[in-house]
């Protein structure tokens, strides 16, 4: 019996390899390295030498901030809304998604700086579209990775404090849980790529994207990074987090049969020689929108913090150009104003 199962395993592995099956169906975890760190599926670690960082940062002048219009929203409506599907862009990669009574936040960052310290580091030039106090009760939070513009300790602590009696469930990539536990935040689930968990009627999937992680010079790639697929019986949402362009999106398309809505980053891409591996530009964002067969996408990760060299109002312009080039209507990959709430009724089938 044992011989037969061994034989089946060997045949299965050989057959699987020869068919070039997508990564999620392989039995080994090639992104786990023996030293305990993680790597990308289609690129070894994004580990630029310090000299390259210096070459970029030396004599660099920050682009000028732009005062975008902050849209008005209605926190009291958001607090009591149980029926209308809505999306509110709070800024950067933080969106509030409301669907059938569930309130979901992605990478919540609603404080002043994307930095380990409160007195220095990238400061937001557009204030959050809604304050923590005005937020409705949050049921679920997904965190893509631990960079300071995506994982903000103060925001997490304040939301947790505000909902002490009914804390949100927080989904994080592998090995990120201990960071939360150190803050006495325990309602946290950590997941590896291609793992799946149930949350009420939702299926939560952690999926690979091409990026890296670190909170200090000494912890590079010790914690995993991920995109998230949130699957409701009536609605499939993809949150890309932070990513470079890779074949991971072809794998994603093979596993999920398209998405109703995807939140895809369009900013923090210049200079390309330094950023390309870890940050897509608007053209690549459109390519991902097409690769994964998303009915609609919303642009995130722009116009909030100055992190890179492109003018802060360039990503939306380039997005429109890339959409026109691919004959995709602007409504299908839409931009939002900071703070804007949009009804998602139009995408219900
Ligand atoms: Zn990042
Ligand atoms: Zn980022």
- C-beta separation of 191 from 203 below 8 A: no
Residues by chain with Cβ below 5 Å of ion ligand 2: 149, 242
Point out the least confidently predicted range of 26-35, 119-128, 240-249, 326-335.
Answer: 26-35
Counting ligands in written order, the one closest to the CA of 149 is 2
Give yes or no for residue 28 having a pLDDT over 90: no
* pLDDT recorded at residue 19: 41
- C-beta separation of 300 from 92 below 8 A: yes
- Using 50, 70 and 90 to split pLDDT, how confident is the model at 289? very high
Cα(149) to ligand 1 centroid in Å equals 7
Cα(26) to ligand 2 centroid in Å equals 29
* pLDDT recorded at residue 49: 77
Cα(347) to ligand 1 centroid in Å equals 29
Beta bridge partners of 123: 113
Cα(18) to ligand 2 centroid in Å equals 37
Cα(192) to ligand 1 centroid in Å equals 18
Give yes or no for residue 21 having a pLDDT over 60: no
Rounded to an integer, what distance in angstroms lies between the CA atom of residue 61 and that of residue 57? Answer: 9
Among the listed residues 336, 161, 172, the one whose alpha carbon sits nearest the alpha carbon of residue 241: 172
- C-beta separation of 103 from 96 below 8 A: yes
Each residue's pLDDT tens digit, 295-346: 999 999 999 999 999 999 999 999 999 999 999 999 999 999 999 999 999 9
* pLDDT recorded at residue 349: 84
252 — phi, psi (to 5°)?
Answer: -65, -40
Give yes or no for residue 160 having a pLDDT over 80: yes
Point out the least confidently predicted range of 18-32, 155-169, 170-184, 262-276.
Answer: 18-32
Widest CA span in the chain: 70
Each residue's pLDDT tens digit, 87-144: 999 999 999 999 999 999 999 999 999 999 888 889 999 999 999 999 999 999 999 9
CATH of domain 74-347: 3.60.15.10
* pLDDT recorded at residue 17: 38
Q: Which two tokens stand for residue 53?
A: 């960082």
Q: Which residue has the higher pLDDT, 55 or 326?
A: 326
C-beta pairs of 24-33 under 8 Å, 24+ apart in sequence: 24/193, 24/194, 24/251, 24/254, 24/255, 29/192, 29/193, 31/193, 31/208, 31/224
Rounded to an integer, what distance in angstroms lies between the CA atom of residue 224 and that of residue 174? Answer: 5
Cα(329) to ligand 1 centroid in Å equals 29
- C-beta separation of 121 from 113 below 8 A: yes
C-beta pairs of 162-166 under 8 Å, 24+ apart in sequence: 162/132, 162/133, 162/135, 163/137, 163/138, 166/137
Counting ligands in written order, the one closest to the CA of 210 is 1
Counting ligands in written order, the one closest to the CA of 122 is 2
Give yes or no for residue 26 having a pLDDT over 60: no
3-state secondary structure the chain: CHHHHHHHHHHHHHHHHHCCCCHHHCCCCCCECCCCCECCCCCCCCCCCHHHHHHHHCCCCCCCCCCCCECCCCHHHHHHCCCCCEEEEEECCEEEEEECCEEEEECCCCCCECCCCCCCCCEECCCCCCCCCCCCCCCEEECCCCCCCCCCHHHHHHHHHHCCCCCCEEEEECCCHHHHHCCCCCCEEEECCCCEEEECCEEEEEECCECCCCCCCCCCCCCCCCEEEEEECCEEEEECCCCECCCHHHHHHHHCCCEEEEEEECCCCCCHHHHCCCCCCHHHHHHHHHHCCEEEEEEECCCCECCCCCCCCHHHHHHHHHHHHCCCCHHHEECCCECCEEECHHHCC
Mean per-residue pLDDT, 147-153: 97
Each residue's pLDDT tens digit, 180-209: 999 999 999 999 999 999 999 999 999 999
* pLDDT recorded at residue 6: 45
Cα(12) to ligand 1 centroid in Å equals 37
Cα(115) to ligand 2 centroid in Å equals 12
CB atoms within 10 A of CB 302: 27
Domain limits of the chain? 74-347
Beta bridge partners of 229: 205, 238
The pairing of strands 294-300 and 333-334 is: parallel
Give yes or no for residue 25 having a pLDDT over 60: no
Cα(47) to ligand 1 centroid in Å equals 13
* pLDDT recorded at residue 45: 67
Rounded to an integer, what distance in angstroms lies between the CA atom of residue 16 and that of residue 227? Answer: 25
Cα(149) to ligand 2 centroid in Å equals 5
Residue with tokens 């139009």: 346
* pLDDT recorded at residue 118: 83
Among the listed residues 188, 43, 68, the one whose alpha carbon sits nearest the alpha carbon of residue 125: 68
């Amino acid at each position: 019996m044992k011989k037969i199962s061994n034989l089946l395993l060997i045949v299965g592995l050989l057959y699987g390899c020869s068919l070039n099956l997508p990564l999620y169906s392989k039995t080994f975890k090639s992104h786990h390295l023996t030293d305990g760190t993680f790597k990308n599926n289609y690129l070894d670690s994004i580990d630029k030498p310090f000299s390259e960082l210096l070459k970029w940062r030396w004599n660099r002048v920050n682009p000028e901030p732009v005062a975008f219009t902050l849209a008005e929203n209605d926190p009291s409506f958001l607090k009591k809304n149980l029926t209308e599907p809505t999306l509110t862009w709070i800024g950067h990669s933080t969106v509030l998604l409301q669907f059938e009574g569930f309130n979901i936040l992605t990478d919540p960052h609603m404080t002043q700086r994307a930095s380990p310290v409160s007195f220095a580091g990238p400061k937001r030039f557009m204030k959050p579209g809604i304050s923590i106090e005005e937020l409705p009760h949050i049921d679920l939070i997904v965190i893509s990775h631990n960079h300071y513009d995506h994982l903000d300790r103060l925001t997490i602590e304040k939301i947790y404090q505000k909902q002490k009696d009914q804390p949100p469930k927080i989904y994080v990539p592998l090995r990120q849980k201990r960071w939360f536990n150190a803050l006495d935040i325990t309602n946290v689930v950590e997941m590896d790529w291609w793992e799946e968990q149930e949350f009420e009627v939702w299926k939560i999937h952690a999926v690979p994207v091409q990026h890296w992680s670190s909170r200090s010079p000494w912890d590079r790639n010790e914690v995993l990074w991920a995109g998230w697929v949130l699957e409701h019986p009536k609605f499939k949402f993809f949150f890309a987090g932070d990513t470079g362009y890779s074949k991971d999106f072809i794998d994603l398309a093979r596993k999920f049969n398209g998405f109703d809505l995807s939140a895809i980053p369009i900013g923090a891409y210049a200079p390309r020689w330094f950023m390309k591996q870890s940050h897509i530009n608007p053209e690549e964002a459109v390519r991902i929108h097409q690769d994964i067969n998303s009915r609609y996408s919303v642009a995130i990760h722009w116009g909030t913090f100055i992190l890179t060299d492109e003018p802060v109002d360039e990503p939306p312009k380039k997005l429109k150009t890339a959409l026109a080039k691919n004959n995709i209507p602007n409504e299908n990959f839409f931009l939002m104003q900071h703070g804007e709430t949009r009804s998602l009724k139009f995408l219900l089938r």
